A and B are shown apart, each in its own frame.
Chain A
Amino acid sequence: MLSYIVKRILSAIPVLLVVSIVIFLIIHITPGNPASVILGEEATPAQIAELEESLGLNLPIHQQYFSWMAGVFQGDLGTSYFMNSPVTEAIGNSIVPTISLAIFAQIISLFIAIPIGVLAANKRGSLTDSSMMVFALLGMSIPSFLLALLLVLLFGVQLGWLPVAGFRPLSEGLLIHLQYLILPAVSLGAIQAALIARMTRSSMLEVLNMNYIKSARAKGVKNFGLILKHAFRNALLPILTVVGGTFGTLITGAVVVETVFNIPGIGQLVINSIERRDFAVIQGVVLFITVVYIFLNLIIDILYGMIDPRVRLDRK
């Protein structure tokens, strides 16, 4: 197991290097100057040049890259030009709302998806099955921004039940924390729920057709216990893959929902930094997101081994 983990971590290094070069080149080739954004339209070329020099933007591009990478290897992702604070600090501040949102959205999606998927599989071919799957299809088809805006209009503006913008940290209380997260989490979780429900159904159907399930039924095991204890656990592996993948998307892909609900998370940070041409933050966040993806995939692979003892990671 340990050697497998080490191998996976080593194989991530070239991926990170390629990502760092590509993102660095893309954002430095894009027109736009952070010094102009900071100083405003009236700044003279001399003032812009002075700020560029102090930010290190006047150096040749390869020099800027190597100096950035030298910092990265020491855990320093650079300093935000716009916010004048370390990129790691900006990521640290933004990751909290994003993780809260991702976890809550994932919980909501699992609460919706697993029962729907299991029920649909159990009642295969029935009206319940069809209606559940239509519901899932609908969830996958609605764009998250549209659902977000509809929820805002209904629960925020019309009914006034829930706040429509912002984020309150857990330190202000669990209820107020959740109150601000409900609408964005539902918007974000709906698509994931649809995806997981479909995967749960197909995975359960596969398992329910296996011989050991038939034997269990023949032995008189009750349906509820059969599904939960015998079928669901064995159907969990492909579901877990989807959950892991979608959780990565929730952490890194909540750009639209964070913008609509004004949540100061990673997605919002990237969007704002692109608008400000804050190169340091953009490249730092992209690198961070890449690491998160690689890490999540690794965790999922390790969980495979724990859930299904037949999977032996070392022998792969």
Chain B
Amino acid sequence: MKLKRSFIILFFLGALALLIAACDSGDEPTEADGSGESEETEGGQTGGTLNIALNAQPPTFDPVMTTSTATRDTARMVFESLLVLNAEYEATPLLAEEVENENNQTFTFHLREGIMFHDGEEMIAEDVVASMNRWKENANQASEIIGNNEFEEVDEYTVSLELDEPSSMIMSTMANAGQFGAIMPKEIVEAAGPDGVTEYIGTGPYEFVEWAQDNYIHVSKFEDYQPLEEEPDGLAGARTAPVDDIYFYIAPDSSTRLAGIQSGEYDLAYQLPFDSYQQLMETDLQVEPSLAGDMVMQYNSSEGLFSDPTMRQAVNAALNLDEILQASLVDPEIYTMGANLMEDENVQWATDAGEEYYNQNDQDLAQQLLDEAGYDGEEVKIVTTRDYQHYYDSSVVIQEQLENLGMNVSLEVYDWPSLTDLVDDESAWHLRVNGYTFRPNPTQMLYIQSDTAGVAQDDQADALMEEIETADTEEEARASWEELQEYIWSDYLPGTKLGRYSHLYVMADYVDGFVYSNGGIFWNISVNN
């Protein structure tokens, strides 16, 4: 009996000790701790580990297969393309040394020599040809411009492309950050199936190590990487890889990311909730609201009530965008307003054309247009999702504003996959709020293209788009775009841009070098503590 009692007491004490020990070991550096293991050098600290909390698991690590931003931001650590966008959205060589452009129709890409893949082989023209032709087949924007033409090998370090017709868009399309033309070894490209490549070998500053599904993606520094000498500029310029290891932890729940960055579990967290902005500003953390895209209320202009442009103009005239943005994006520090449909830094395309039609909040005009359109109390169906809270919040305010105008408005809420399925059925909805990330040129903007669900075909818009695509000079292309943007706001209105939203990136005070340009850029980040 005595022995049994002693055993029980010992067992309890042991368990207690284990728990206390587990609590106490919090200060010990671990493999996945952003602290420790870094060393001071002339240009800052190198080494260490960076723990990033991602908001979603990428559907694939093959960037050629998807437009997913989670794939874009993680895969570009490993894969690189011939051209990339700089901070002003200009196509700039990365794996290409130089590009010869003859009349926007014939292009010759001279490759950088001595670029190594992560498997130790040198990148040569046959790899580029195989990779770019696979990209052309998978990326819609590319296949529309390039058609049946192909990238061809000229010699070991030269690749050419000849188009049937001139295109002023091909360079920026090739440099686009989403679904980019990742250069991989020819054998890997040839072994790719319909769901993408199975081996992740690129030329980037980090090499792929491991993907623990729904847990983390681990990339580590590629020692043989050869950075450009130019200063970093958006996605262009030098990529330096000061940190040895980067873990992208998949943390879909925003409150988990928030608690994780506050407690030091993560060094950098993606896309935190807008309403946490003020709370975060009161901490030692670095808060970077980075303008990421436009929140747009899309009309179903293909079918039903809003196939009449006057109805769309009536709603556009009625909306009070200040109210909508305050309710959905919360803080003026994290959103901007304006008629410009391209990114403000985009020197080639940014314009305020049509600004008199933005944020009119003119109820009399709206009522007059409604009467003109013969609106007679028909039900207007807004479809939305709570998976993106700002879409839902803005939809609620839009519903209220339109009801105040005397319209009969209903709100239907779905989960995100159901909603994306539903909008393909053009008889099922009238209005929806959606986010669109920035594009390098107007031809890539989804909500003005008639092959997007709910977008009506429009002869004048198509003609102006054609002018942009085939313009001989940048000035001519810009003039056509200014005309098109004016027309979009005044008449066509496939959607009303509500405002420009930021993504909230938050990082610990010892993280240095984060840049946002078409998504977060992590290859020049160092951990300074």
Q: Which residues of A contact B (CB under 8 A)?
A: 30-33, 36-44, 47, 50-51, 54-55, 82-85, 90, 93-94, 107, 111, 149, 152-153, 156-157, 160-168, 172, 174-176, 178-179, 182, 225, 259-262, 264, 268-269, 272, 275-277
Least Cβ–Cβ distance between B11 and chain A, in angstroms = 10
Q: Across the interface, do A33 and B263 meet the contact criterion of CB distance under 8 Å?
A: no
> Looking at the complex, which of B18-26, B75-83, B94-102, B342-350 is the stretch in contact with chain A?
B18-26
Of the listed stretches B391-399, B410-418, B468-476, chain A binds B410-418
The B interface, classified by DSSP as helix, strand, loop or mixed, is mixed
Separation of A43 and B421 alpha carbons in the complex (Å): 13
Nearest neighbor of B451 in chain A, beta-carbon distance: A44
Given contacts A36-B417, A162-B23, 14 further A-B contacts (CB under 8 A): A33-B421, A36-B420, A38-B65, A39-B66, A54-B195, A90-B213, A157-B259, A166-B265, A259-B252, A260-B256, A262-B249, A262-B251, A264-B213, A275-B416
> Is the CB–CB distance between A54 and B214 below 8 Å?
no
CA distance A30 to B421 in the complex (A): 10
Q: In the complex, what's the smallest C-beta–C-beta distance from A282 to chain B, in angstroms?
A: 12
Decide if B263 touches A164 in the complex (CB within 8 Å): yes
- Distance between Cα atoms of A161 and B265 in the complex (Å): 11
A156 to B265, CA, bound (A): 9
**CB distance B259 to A269 under 8 Å?**
no
A167 proximity list for chain B (CB < 8 A): 215
Q: CB of B441 within 8 A of chain A? A: no
Please state if A175 and B22 are interface contacts (CB–CB under 8 Å): yes
- Tell me whether B368 is interfacial, beta carbon within 8 Å: no
Q: Are B422 and A31 in contact (CB under 8 A)?
A: yes
Is the CB–CB distance between B265 and A165 below 8 Å?
yes
The chain B residue with its CB closest to the CB of A182 is B22
Q: How far does the Cβ of B248 sit from chain A's closest Cβ, in whole Å? A: 12
Residue of A nearest to B416 (CB): A275
**In the complex the two chains form, what is the Cα distance from A221 to B20 in whole Å?**
37
Q: Which residues of A contact B257 (CB under 8 A)?
A: 165
- Residues on B with C-beta less than 8 A from A51 are 194-195
Bound: A93/B210 CA distance, A: 14
Name the contact of A157 in the complex, choosing from B23, B215, B262, B421 (C-beta under 8 A).
Answer: B262
9 smallest beta-carbon distances between A and B, as pairs: A32-B417, A40-B67, A264-B215, A178-B22, A31-B418, A54-B194, A156-B263, A38-B59, A165-B260
Determine if B418 and A32 form an interchain contact, defined as CB atoms under 8 angstroms apart.
yes
The reply to whether B255 and A260 contact each other, CB–CB distance below 8 Å, is: yes
Contact A225:B1 (CB < 8 A) given known A36-B421, A178-B18, A264-B212: yes
Within 8 A of A (CB), among B255-280: 255-257, 259-260, 262-266
The number of chain B residues touching the other chain, given as a range, is 35 or more
B305-331 CB contact bits vs A (8 Å, 1 = yes)?
A: 000000000000000000000000000
Most chain B CB inside 10 Å of its own CB: which residue of A47, A165, A174, A175: A165
Residues of chain A within 8 A of B167, CB atoms compared: none
Chain A residue at minimal CB-CB distance from B30: A176
Query: Is A179 in contact with B25, judged by CB distance below 8 angstroms?
Result: yes
Residue of chain A at shortest CB distance from B72: A40
Q: Which residue of A lies closest to B62 (CB)?
A: A84
Residues in B whose Cβ lies below 8 Å from that of A272: 57, 214, 252
Compute how far the CA of A275 lies from the CA of B179 in the bound complex, rounded to whole angstroms. Answer: 22
- Given A31-B417, A262-B251, A268-B214: A164 and B22 interface contact (C-beta under 8 Å): no
Of B23, B60, B250, which contacts A38 at CB under 8 A? B60
B120 contacts A by Cβ under 8 Å: no
Residues of B whose CB lies within 8 Å of any CB of A are 1, 12, 15, 18-19, 21-23, 25-26, 30-32, 53, 57, 59-60, 65-68, 138, 140, 179, 193-196, 198, 212-215, 249-253, 255-257, 259-260, 262-266, 387, 414-418, 420-422, 446, 451
User: Contacts A149-B255, A156-B259, A156-B263 given: A182-B19 contact, CB under 8 Å?
Assistant: yes
A154, chain B: closest CB distance, angstroms: 11
**Residue pair A32, B421 in contact (C-beta under 8 Å):** yes
Measured between beta carbons, the chain B residues less than 8 angstroms from A42 are 67, 140, 179, 446
- Which of A51, A156, A166, A259 is packed against the most chain B CB atoms within 10 Å? A166
Contact A93 B212 (CB under 8 A): yes
Residues in chain A near residue B1, CB distance under 8 A: 225
Contacts of B53 in A (CB 8 A): 165
* Cβ 8 A contact of B263, one of A32, A160, A178, A260: A160
Q: Would A153 and B259 be within 8 Å (CB), given that A93-B212, A172-B31, A175-B21 are in contact? A: yes
Contact between A93 and B213 (Cβ–Cβ < 8 Å)? yes
Q: Does the CB pair B259–A39 fall under 8 Å?
A: no
A152, B264: Cα distance in complex, Å: 12
Is the Cβ of B193 less than 8 Å from the Cβ of A83?
A: no
Q: Are A50 and B260 in contact (CB under 8 A)?
A: no
Residues of B within 8 A of A83 (CB): 213
B193, B212, B213: the one within 8 Å of A54 (CB): B193
Q: In whole angstroms, what is the CA distance A264 to B498 when docked? A: 37
